[in-house]
Amino acid sequence: MKTIEVKGISKNFKDTRALDNVTLTFKENRIYGLLGRNGAGKSTLLNLISNRLFPDSGSICVCGEPVMENDRALSYLFCMSDQDLYPEGMRVEAAFQWSGVFYPDFDMEYAKSLSKKFGLRLNKKIKNLSTGYASIFKLIVALSCNVPFVLLDEPVLGLDANHRDLFYRELLDAYANNPRTFIISTHLIEEVAGIIEQVVIIKEGKVILNDSMENVLSMGYCITGPVAAVDSYAAGKKLLGENVLGGLKSAYFWGQYDTDPLPQGLERSSLDLQKLFIELTNA
């Protein structure tokens, strides 16, 4: 079974608990959104999965094999992060060639065609690339290496709107032509909301949500109206947060909304993924 199984993973850094008993499964051929506030633990999780860090407890298995120090398990994944890991002086084209050595299924022609689309010059030194183009370079490697699990940590850092648009389309194209699992960790929630199927939200090192987009969007809603009416409606329901403007209150709820008619003066509206995320992750 092609999955990434994260079981009971905990990781501490000095006095911070970055991840606390995290258990997750990433299935094959799916696009996941890994969301969380700054410092929530997303990057730590991705670094643990890709053998860059060691967990304090728990285990991670890729396609049934423990990933730690295991070349075979590691060959099933590629992790793209904002760190610059390429040697001083290496040029883009050489980096592509080395990717072909380390990843046998790396598609050089595809990488070159993507470089052309994005305007990435093959003879440029990687260290001389701007933030945006450094991300583009790493994205192209990630899309071209044709492994079952592609981990993208803030993939669109520094990319202008045009390039971001192009990236999402290329990702969907690659996903359609050659299905694999993408795990996208990002702050740009609204942009990825359309393309992700499964949402994982991490808050302070714990997984607080792990569900399909459909379910998630159907579980969040907002009630607006006079303060008293909203408060009495809120009784017995799971309140995520609220917003008061004078005598008008908006309250955000989590749960299957009933289709019964609302009490006088109240209005119901939907919560998009970003609004939901904000309410779920506010302290």
Around Cβ 242, how many Cβ atoms within 10 Å?
Answer: 17
Task: Rule CB under 8 A: choose which of 7, 113, 257, 278 binds another protein.
Answer: 257
**Cβ at position 203, least distance to another protein in Å:** 23
For the bound state, the minimum distance from the C-beta of residue 212 to another protein, rounded and expressed in Å, comes to 10
Smallest distance, another protein to C-beta of residue 55, A: 11
* Of the candidates 191, 188, 217, 184, the residue with the CA atom closest to the CA atom of residue 42: 184
How far is 114 from 133, CA to CA, in rounded Å? 12
- Burial zone of 5 (CB within 10 Å; 0-12 exposed, 13-18 middle, 19+ buried): middle
15 binds another protein (CB under 8 A): no
Would strands 16-26 and 248-254 be described as parallel, antiparallel, or unpaired?
Answer: unpaired
* Residue of 9, 60, 63, 77 that binds another protein (CB under 8 A): 77
Q: Is 267 in the site for another protein (CB under 8 A)?
A: yes
Asked whether position 221 contacts another protein by CB under 8 A, the answer is: yes
Which residues in 74-219 belong to E strands, given as ranges? 77-80, 149-153, 181-185, 198-203, 206-212
Q: Is 52 in the site for another protein (CB under 8 A)?
A: yes
With contacts defined by CB under 8 A, how many residues of the chain interact with another protein? 55
Of 219, 166, 214, 173, nearest in space to 194 by CA = 214
**Is 144 among the residues that bind another protein (CB under 8 A)?**
no
> Which residue in the set 196, 201, 202, 251 belongs to the binding site for another protein (CB under 8 A)?
196
Q: Which is nearer to another protein, 206 or 268 (CB)?
A: 268
CB 169 within 8 A of CB 159: no
- Residue 71 in contact with another protein, rule: CB under 8 A: yes
C-alpha atoms less than 13 angstroms from C-alpha of 23 in its C-beta half-sphere: 4
The least distance separating another protein from the CB of residue 109, rounded to whole angstroms, comes to: 20
Q: Does 261 bind another protein (CB under 8 A)?
A: yes
Contacts of residue 30, defined as CB under 8 A and 6 or more positions apart, other chains included, come to 181, 182, 197, 198
Q: Which of 39, 85, 160, 244 binds another protein (CB under 8 A)?
A: 85
Any contact of residue 2 with another protein (CB under 8 A)? no
161 binds another protein (CB under 8 A): no
Element (H, E) at 252: strand 248-254
Binding test (CB under 8 A) with another protein, winner from 17, 21, 37, 53: 53
CA 22, 25, 31 angle in degrees (round to 5)? 115
Q: Is 274 in the site for another protein (CB under 8 A)?
A: no
* Residues engaged in binding another protein (CB under 8 A): 31, 47, 50-54, 69-72, 74-75, 77-79, 83, 85-88, 98-99, 101-103, 165, 168-169, 172-173, 175-177, 194-197, 213-214, 217-218, 221, 257, 261-262, 264-272
